[in-house]
Structure 1
């Protein structure tokens, strides 16, 4: 089973509850996620992935739990990341992984309907996160 870290980057203002999400140029709307390295704690992996994929800096990360029901063959370790400010409303970040992509980030309102374009695993992840927060 693959071990996956998923950071929940909650916007500092708190209302409405918003988390960082992005548009991948080839794969649609997504949440940040990535593999956990051997010996790496899931919370550290979440903070690392968040920085690598979005440029957002984590001051502290705590586990929200894990789930094997988000994506077949994967255990998602979800961590709440306390962000360093200031934060922009939207931004682009070049991620060197996967041959290099420019990701377009935005804040996804947790209490609103999900926009079209999220694949089923990301929809399940958002539902799981909503249940934990």
Structure 2
């Protein structure tokens, strides 16, 4: 079986002395963190920046560091997690129209890293959040 290579570009911010991570509410599949598939002959870092732009609209991002390789329990995939940085002044929340599945609106917001995910989070993203917390 072929293992699919995925990238997870994450962005943190400090807000009121708390570290927060950028997440979004998918209209069908709950709260998630940006992730996407690496295209043929694409570098992981390039895929991370591309996916961040496609799913969030953030256009001026760069890679700060590689956080590690996560293996979600439900999927035969490698999720390469990158900490990214942007010079854009990101709002507390925004809506981005994404071309996924014929066009969806993703509602972005910041989740305090110290808080547990709610039941609205998709299970594989709850696992991803725990991975990120263990490495950050």
- After TM superposition, the score normalised by the length of structure 2 is 0.89
Uncovered stretches (5+) of structure 1, i.e. residues with no partner: none
The residue that corresponds to 1:123 in the other structure is 126
Q: Can you list the C-alpha shifts for 1:62-116, whole angstroms capped at 9, x where unaligned?
A: 3111122454201100000011221100000000121000111100111112122
Aligned equivalent of 2:22, options 20, 23, 36: 20
Structure 1 moving runs of 4+ over 4 Å: none
Give matches, 1:1-133, under 5 Å. 1-11=3-13, 15-61=17-63, 62-133=65-136
Decide whether aligned partners of structure 1 residues 52 and 13 sit closer, same or farther in structure 2, where only a CA change above 3 A counts.
same
CA RMSD across the alignment: 1.7
8 Å CA contact 2:48–2:82 kept in 1: the answer is yes
CA distance in 2 between counterparts of 1:13 and 1:131 reads: 20
CA distance in 2 between counterparts of 1:114 and 1:67 reads: 18
How many residue pairs get matched?
Answer: 133
- The Cα shift of 1:48 comes to 0.9
- After TM superposition, the score normalised by the length of structure 1 is 0.91
CA distance in 1 between counterparts of 2:17 and 2:134 reads: 17
Uncovered stretches (5+) of structure 2, i.e. residues with no partner: none
- The Cα shift of 1:60 comes to 1.9
CA distance in 2 between counterparts of 1:3 and 1:19 reads: 22
